[in-house]
Homo-oligomer: A and B are copies of this chain.
Amino acid sequence: MSFPRRYRRTVTDRASAAGDQARARVLEVALDLFAAAGYRGTSIAQVAELAGLSQSGLLHHFPSKVALLVAALDHRDEIDGRLLEVDSQPPLGWAAFDALIALVRRNSQRPNQVRLFVTLSAEAIDPAHPAHDWVQQHYAGVYAWLTAAVEHGLDAGEFRSEVPVERFVHLTIAALDGLQIQWLVSGGELDMVGDFGAYVAAQKTRWGPVGG
């Protein structure tokens, strides 16, 4: 099956379909390996081998290891879609916490993705790490997203006015990250979804509206 000539995109237009396929394979493998051994613990040769092309072939698509990392992170964000948004709108108030539970449930089905994030976050605490900016922006983004949700909930009367917003957000993010680590170390035995769900339920009781 092939397109009629006039529908074909020219080479100068953009990469070929075969090239796209190779690119996609490389990104999938890179995500897995970076997840399994971190950025520094993974060689581009390993990625290339598992993706079924030579090291040089890989470097044709991603000119350096850093470029591959950045592309892999962007790819992750892309396939993540916008799980934390609904119809391009972020959920507000307690709905944001329900969205987080859904995220944890989804994460519990893809340990390698979780491992990529945990491994890379730790590695990239070092300011000299190529993903340092990415990690800082990631945390800043999550913090801003969750803070906005809580503050909106406050305005809407979904939260008691005494809720210490900043500490509350810090602890919620900590619960997410900390449970992920224990879940990974335990080899998936820990009930991450149940534990985080219990956390959210407790918070609803403590910080929900007085009459709730």
Contact = CB atoms under 8 A, between A and B. Distances in A.
Interface string A158-186: 00000010010011011111110110111
B171 A179 contact: yes
Contact of A119 (B123, B139, B198): B123
A36 B191 CA distance: 31
A125 interface: yes
Judged by DSSP, the binding face of A is helix
A18 B1 CA distance: 76
Interface string A136-175: 1001000000000000000000000000100100110111
Interface residues of A, number: 40
B118 A37 contact: no
A125 B136 contact: no
A38 interface: yes
A190 interface: yes
Q: Which 9 A-B pairs have the closest CB atoms?
A: A174-B178, A122-B122, A178-B178, A177-B178, A174-B179, A125-B184, A167-B198, A119-B122, A40-B41
22 contacts: A38-B40, A115-B125, A118-B125, A119-B122, A119-B125, A122-B122, A139-B182, A167-B194, A167-B195, A167-B198, A170-B182, A171-B175, A171-B179, A171-B199, A173-B178, A174-B174, A174-B175, A174-B178, A174-B179, A175-B178, A178-B178, A202-B206
Interface of A: 36-38, 40-41, 115, 118-119, 121-123, 125-126, 135-136, 139, 164, 167, 170-171, 173-179, 181-182, 184-186, 190-191, 194-195, 198-199, 202, 206
